[in-house]
Structure 1
Amino acid sequence: MDTPTHPTDHHRHRAGRVPVWLRAAIPAVLILVWLVVFGLGGASFGRLSDVVVNDQAQFLPASAEATEVNELQEGFRDGDAIPAIVVTASDTALDDAQLEAVDELRDRLLEVDGIDADASSPVIPSEDGQAAQFVVSIAAGEDDRPAKDVVDELRAEVDDDPIDGAETAVTGPAGFTADLAGAFSGIDGLLLAVALIAVFLILIVVYRSPLLPVIVLLTSLTALCASVLVVVSLAAADVLPISGQTQGILFILVIGAATDYALLYIARYQEALGRFERKWDATWAALKGAWEPIVASGGTVIVGLLILLASELASNKILGPVAAIGIVFALLAALTLLPALLLWAGRVAFWPRKVRERGASAAADLGEDPTAGRGLWAGVGRLVAKRPRTVWIASTVVLAAMCLGLPQLKADGVPSSEFVLGESQARDGQELLGEHFPAGSGTPALIVGPEADLQEMADVALASDGVDSVSVVSADSPAGQAPVTEDGVQPLGPPGTPVPDPTVVDGEVLLQATLTDPADSLEAEQTIAELRTDLDRVGEGVLVGGQTAVALDTNDAALADRALIIPLVLAAILIILMLLLRAIVAPLLLIASVVLSYAAALGVSAVVFDGIFGFPGADPSVPLFAFVFLVALGVDYNIFLMTRVREESVAHGTRAGVIRGLRLTGGVITSAGLVLAATFAALGVLPILFLAQISFIVAFGVLLDTFLVRTLLVPAVSYDLGRLIWQPSKLARGAR
């Protein structure tokens, strides 16, 4: 048995009692189990597209008015359906040949598999004669073709036989759904490839080793496969639905977090290999030093994510457990699979670099004066030790200056036509529609109320400046609906056609109000809000829904979530930090620094979004998601730093412990920050406005935390306050 040469070498002495066969069996079993999980999870990737749902209405809270209307309208129609609007327009009036071609196009499209011909509309020419439109209804039941596939076929039919001298586009809710699904199509391949390549290149630069980056990425990918396996199983069982944006965030979060935890463990393992001759002893020493900060870091993220369960908006509520599952597997892989792989590889993992000789350690190299020596982190340590107050005040001023851009952040919602960046046929078609028809054509507001109040409801809607026309659902009408004017329900057809009877379900009727503004616009949302207020005077049982109402209720729920979730996350993370650091002052400082960093990231992002990218605004959920990720993940780096500072402070005093902790963790935290920023930046390859904004805010915020907050602000404040940061623990009553 080896003779201990270091105060902590008693771990090796105890580990020596473990039989050799068990030392070989434990890592072998762990690796085998994880490889099985890797295989099963890899196979589950192919099932993701089958369980992903991108319908905004399905993620509304059950209490939302639009949700109630969605449920009620099913009684007036046969099954679920998504309307696709086909619009043809020309710079001049459409001639007879062009109108005949539009009729023929309609006949061909009604034969497409997945189209409900009976629920589709006839061709409707515009008043200026330069355009014509018709609505085709796409069946959206559980066993029906995906709406994207149907829209793709409709568009292919349009392209195969274009109408001379005119432009034709497929738009409407189905068109936007198809464009959004197409934008998410690269999530399994492109997004994952970009993220993994970025991480691999950073690890190559950091470690200058061919094997270690492979081990780290294998750990991260295995954690992701395990997450996908569980999430897909839950989604297939209708326990936990998943959207495209949730899927993208899951991928990035697991890869980034698992890699960060791996970097922290590797730093401890490399240091332990310098103190112990046997790999087994080094592994146990590394686990003892790494498990607490890794679990605490993962715990803050998991708690922050699970608090999203308190959200009103179902999409926010669903993201919480989905992403938390990913973090759990990231933690498990970093603390089991990675140590097993490194135990197998030993010092070879770091080849061609040499690991320190036995008995040496990075901590010992600092000597009695932690500010001595050369190198970047020695220089940063001297700067912090020499002028701590100047450093933290200057850092705070820089961050405060970045916050000045916050008033420019327009996070009150964006039209659904802007969800997809780049080309969008649905958006182009919506513009054509708005030039020749009421912009809300084909996507009406839905009004459900008592049959006795039909005319009064119609009169209120017609009196609104934002409503062009009103119709009532009627099975007796050829088009399935009949116009309603101030004179009552009107027949469709030649003079003498009988007035159709409205469809009545449980004493209620369904009105459709065509809006003058695009259905996805903020102006249309304002019209819906005013309609609801005005119709409340008709009766409490009158409800307003439809696509525009869905967007309005989604934005309102997202704003309510922001006001609720942000304070809860702050309180939860503060409690975790207090328990971890056994203090009150230090956790308060850490929380304050991360919140300031978050505000600075939002301020800079607002200026970039508005002045450089020209984004039309932001979804109300963007600040909330950015907050949860930045605060939870930003605190990670402070946890990595301050747990080491506390460890060093016990032996060397607080001020020396601050400089030692800064120097000992500087390289690994910087590497972790670069990895996490790169993985979130990879989200930007998907042409989705929401993900592009989250990508920039989180990546920039992580870099701020890495290079300014954790490097200068937190160490300088901690050094300036000295042992006061550990109040009220015993460590605060030490000599330094």
Structure 2
Amino acid sequence: MLPWAVLALWLAVLALAGPLAGRLADVQQNRAVDYLPASADSTQVAKVQDALPGGEATELVVVYHRDGGLTGADRARAQAQIGEIARTHRLTATPTAVPSKDGTTVMYAVASTQPGQDDDARTAFVDDVRNVTDGGGGLTAEVGGAGALNTDMKGVYSSLDGPLLYTTVAVVAVLLILIYRSPLLWLLPLLVAGVADGAAMAAVYGLHQAFGITVTGQSQGVMTILVFGAGTDYALLLVARYREELRRIPRPYEAMRAALRGCGPAILASSGTVAAGLLCLLAADLNSSRGMGPIAAVGVLSALVAMVTLLPALLVLLGRRVFWPLVPAYGSRPPQRRGLFAAMGTSAARRPAAVLAGGAVLLGALALGALHLPGSLKNEDAFTTAPESVTAMQTLARAYPGSGTQPITVVAPTGRAAEVLAKARTTSGVATVERGRSGAGWTELFVTAEAAPETPGETATIKALRAGLDSRFGAYVGGASAQQIDLADTSSRDRWIVVPLVLLSVLLILVALLRSLVAPLLLVVAVVAVWGAALGIGGLLFGPLLGFRGTDPVLPLLSFVFLVALGVDYGIFLMHRMREESRSGAEPAAAALTALRTTGGVIASAGLVLAATFSVLITMPLVSLVELGLVIAVGVLLDTFLVRTYLVTSASLALGRRVWWPGRLSRAHPAGGATIEVLPHPASRP
């Protein structure tokens, strides 16, 4: 009766969660300013602009260009189209033509504060301007600027949900079919992961409504990948143990109870470690990182709950036939064969110190590649294929070399606006300053730098403005370029806070689980080394091979959190089994090799699935997602096939009983002092 009750309960959960899950995409916040902390200058500018008449302005730059030089007809056409935009929309000022010195280009700054400037209204305004502006006959007309960039970014994130989900499902399905070689069994973990994803989306929507956590397209995408990746990992471990118990126990229900008792603690501990590591992101100042912590943790916990309740219920209800054609008959023995991980363990046992030293040198050498990571990612380099907003800015950069083409926004208390304007005009690197709107006690100023956008020269100008205006006049300096500066600065500060918290929380959980200090330190050092090597490989690939011109400032922190949490996940599977074998009477070497042989197949399968799910991000059109997916996928593979198999096993062999110091297992032989015979374990086959 219990399996049927569990199934009925999940059907009720689906009925309740379905409508809420469908609303999650509607509350995504994908503007650059949405990623920033409330304390950032650029965030304060956006808040002030929201309070001004018409709300935050949607700032665009309309660019007309002809390679051989603009004709009189081109200029007349451009002026007529800009006039139509001014007549049909409420603009902050009348756009004026700014021609380039070479006569090939003319640009118009167009900004709207018409009523109803929510995200949909901003998108509609950008789309309408693009519909009005039209070239032809060799004349190009493009719409760029911060407003257009935000619209294009939102469009990309809005289009990710479907392709990301379908691609993830397809990748996991193929891998499960290859692993299980069964026409039915592969479908169950996939189905349960889909249910868990729906429940997680509903839970995240509830968190947003209750606590206002920031939901971005990136965080929702990563959550889906974690649900399918981590959920499938838990399914692999559970199904492997269930298959083993079915050979010993006649009734599937009793076999499942034994399987849950056997592998349940490891699954609970590993998922708890991952969730704890992810929740450390709550200490981040960056809105997007702080929001990703609970969102990703909800995904992992939803996968856990589904895989230890719904999946067992389905497996029990379907009985042994779910494994067809490789049905584990009661009383049968699994095929005894020397597998890959037995051979790897034997090779590591011959010279464990040499293997450990060689692996450490390899990881250290790979980590040096991080020195070649490109600088911070610019807005114009954020897409793998440049949309119109980016090509427009590229046209401006060629036509107006070394000139500012993107406004720096300053908001000042109205009573001191004249002083701020005068001070801004005398600031080094400032070309022009224009007064914008006033209201709610604030006045808006638009500053044009002498240097091109997102260059060291413009960065120096923004910092000079902030140094001269913030403390003396209570003004704030924002805009698209300032947002990128705040993003990089806040990400750097967050690393110094979140990284120690992740290491401490993971270490404490491992100490409690393994009753040791040495084994947890070994696992933590191993995953940190994997993170460094994965970032190094990224440094060798991003620029030279993939042509990326920048690195997402948040990449080091997010990749660290995910690789440490997920890497320790696999370490728990290995070390928990090693400790179990040691407590049963095995000598240290036998315990280490048996643990590798019995868990190696499951860990390898789980690592392949997790790496494949994160590699789905590599197919996405945003550089930040490609970089995150590549680093995590590479890191998981390094962790699975080098660190867990060779280095952790070699270190355990070299340390012997000292790996369990100061626990009881480090001080004396287990009762009986027996040495067990090391044979391949049924669980080595997922």
Give the TM-score of the pair, scaled to structure 2.
0.92
Name 2:107's counterpart in structure 1.
Answer: 133
Please tell me whether the aligned partners of residues 653 and 734 of structure 1 are also in contact (alpha carbons under 8 angstroms): no
Note the C-alpha offset of 1:309.
Answer: 0.7
Note the C-alpha offset of 1:242.
Answer: 0.7
Name 1:558's counterpart in structure 2.
Answer: 491
Please tell me whether the aligned partners of residues 38 and 225 of structure 1 are also in contact (alpha carbons under 8 angstroms): yes
1:395 counterpart letter in structure 2: G
Q: Helix, strand or coil: the match of 2:448?
A: strand
* Alpha-carbon distance between aligned partners in 1 of 2:395 and 2:449, rounded to the nearest angstrom: 16
- From 280, 304, 314, the equivalent of 2:277 is 304
Please tell me whether the aligned partners of residues 349 and 653 of structure 2 are also in contact (alpha carbons under 8 angstroms): yes
- From 6, 9, 19, the equivalent of 1:33 is 9
* Alpha-carbon distance between aligned partners in 1 of 2:58 and 2:92, rounded to the nearest angstrom: 10
Q: Helix, strand or coil: the match of 2:186?
A: helix
1:407 aligns with 2:360: no
Note the C-alpha offset of 1:132.
Answer: 2.7
1:548 aligns with 2:481: yes
* Alpha-carbon distance between aligned partners in 1 of 2:482 and 2:81, rounded to the nearest angstrom: 32
- Relative to structure 2, which stretch is displaced further, 179-188 or 567-576? 179-188
Q: Hey, which bits of structure 1, 4+ residues long, moved more than 6 A?
A: none
Note the C-alpha offset of 1:288.
Answer: 0.5
Q: Helix, strand or coil: the match of 1:211?
A: coil
- Relative to structure 2, which stretch is displaced further, 208-217 or 233-242? 233-242
Note the C-alpha offset of 1:453.
Answer: 6.6
Q: Helix, strand or coil: the match of 1:613?
A: coil
Residues 179, 138 of structure 1: alpha-carbon distance in 2 compared, 3 angstrom cutoff: farther
- From 389, 392, 405, the equivalent of 2:353 is 389
Note the C-alpha offset of 1:504.
Answer: 7.1
1:422 counterpart letter in structure 2: T
Give the TM-score of the pair, scaled to structure 1.
0.86
Residues 141, 585 of structure 1: alpha-carbon distance in 2 compared, 3 angstrom cutoff: farther
- From 125, 141, 150, the equivalent of 1:177 is 150
Please tell me whether the aligned partners of residues 597 and 701 of structure 1 are also in contact (alpha carbons under 8 angstroms): yes
Residues 42, 533 of structure 1: alpha-carbon distance in 2 compared, 3 angstrom cutoff: same
- From 655, 660, 671, the equivalent of 2:589 is 655
- Relative to structure 2, which stretch is displaced further, 284-293 or 32-41? 32-41
* Alpha-carbon distance between aligned partners in 2 of 1:251 and 1:303, rounded to the nearest angstrom: 18
Name 1:147's counterpart in structure 2.
Answer: 122
Residues 583, 359 of structure 1: alpha-carbon distance in 2 compared, 3 angstrom cutoff: farther
Q: Helix, strand or coil: the match of 2:545?
A: helix
- Relative to structure 2, which stretch is displaced further, 615-624 or 185-194? 185-194
Q: Helix, strand or coil: the match of 1:471?
A: strand
RMSD between aligned residues: 2.4
1:346 counterpart letter in structure 2: G
Name 2:527's counterpart in structure 1.
Answer: 594
Q: Helix, strand or coil: the match of 2:551?
A: coil
- From 560, 565, 575, the equivalent of 2:508 is 575
* Alpha-carbon distance between aligned partners in 1 of 2:93 and 2:214, rounded to the nearest angstrom: 30
Residues 121, 720 of structure 1: alpha-carbon distance in 2 compared, 3 angstrom cutoff: same
Please tell me whether the aligned partners of residues 81 and 140 of structure 1 are also in contact (alpha carbons under 8 angstroms): no
Kindly provide the CA deviation profile for residues 410-457 of structure 1, in whole angstroms up to 9, marking residues without a partner as x.
4x52211211111311111112223445854353331425645725x4
Q: Helix, strand or coil: the match of 1:385?
A: helix
Name 2:678's counterpart in structure 1.
Answer: none
Note the C-alpha offset of 1:85.
Answer: 1.8
1:325 aligns with 2:308: no
Structure 2: 5+ residue stretches without partners: 674-686
* Alpha-carbon distance between aligned partners in 2 of 1:425 and 1:520, rounded to the nearest angstrom: 18
- From 409, 416, 429, the equivalent of 2:379 is 416
* Alpha-carbon distance between aligned partners in 2 of 1:355 and 1:302, rounded to the nearest angstrom: 34
Note the C-alpha offset of 1:236.
Answer: 4.9
Kindly provide the CA deviation profile for residues 497-521 of structure 1, in whole angstroms up to 9, marking residues without a partner as x.
xxxxxx4764x64322112334444
- Relative to structure 2, which stretch is displaced further, 414-423 or 662-671? 414-423
1:515 aligns with 2:449: yes
1:54 counterpart letter in structure 2: N
1:282 counterpart letter in structure 2: A
* Alpha-carbon distance between aligned partners in 2 of 1:413 and 1:162, rounded to the nearest angstrom: 34
1:51 aligns with 2:27: yes
Percent identity over the alignment is: 38
Please tell me whether the aligned partners of residues 196 and 302 of structure 2 are also in contact (alpha carbons under 8 angstroms): yes
* Alpha-carbon distance between aligned partners in 2 of 1:613 and 1:576, rounded to the nearest angstrom: 38
* Alpha-carbon distance between aligned partners in 2 of 1:531 and 1:283, rounded to the nearest angstrom: 66
Look at both structures and tell me which one has the larger radius of gyration over its CA atoms.
1
- From 380, 383, 388, the equivalent of 1:425 is 388
Note the C-alpha offset of 1:252.
Answer: 0.7
Name 1:723's counterpart in structure 2.
Answer: 657
Kindly provide the CA deviation profile for residues 690-734 of structure 1, in whole angstroms up to 9, marking residues without a partner as x.
110000000000000000001110011101211111111111123
Residues 421, 147 of structure 1: alpha-carbon distance in 2 compared, 3 angstrom cutoff: farther
Q: Helix, strand or coil: the match of 1:610?
A: coil
Note the C-alpha offset of 1:338.
Answer: 0.9
* Alpha-carbon distance between aligned partners in 2 of 1:574 and 1:280, rounded to the nearest angstrom: 36
* Alpha-carbon distance between aligned partners in 2 of 1:257 and 1:274, rounded to the nearest angstrom: 27
1:61 counterpart letter in structure 2: P
- From 219, 236, 239, the equivalent of 1:246 is 219
Note the C-alpha offset of 1:209.
Answer: 0.7
Residues 146, 30 of structure 1: alpha-carbon distance in 2 compared, 3 angstrom cutoff: farther
Kindly provide the CA deviation profile for residues 261-309 of structure 1, in whole angstroms up to 9, marking residues without a partner as x.
1111111111111111111111111000111111111111111111111
Please tell me whether the aligned partners of residues 29 and 215 of structure 2 are also in contact (alpha carbons under 8 angstroms): yes
Residues 374, 383 of structure 1: alpha-carbon distance in 2 compared, 3 angstrom cutoff: same
Q: Helix, strand or coil: the match of 1:212?
A: coil
Structure 1: 5+ residue stretches without partners: 1-24, 366-372, 475-502
- Relative to structure 2, which stretch is displaced further, 571-580 or 609-618? 609-618
2:654 counterpart letter in structure 1: D
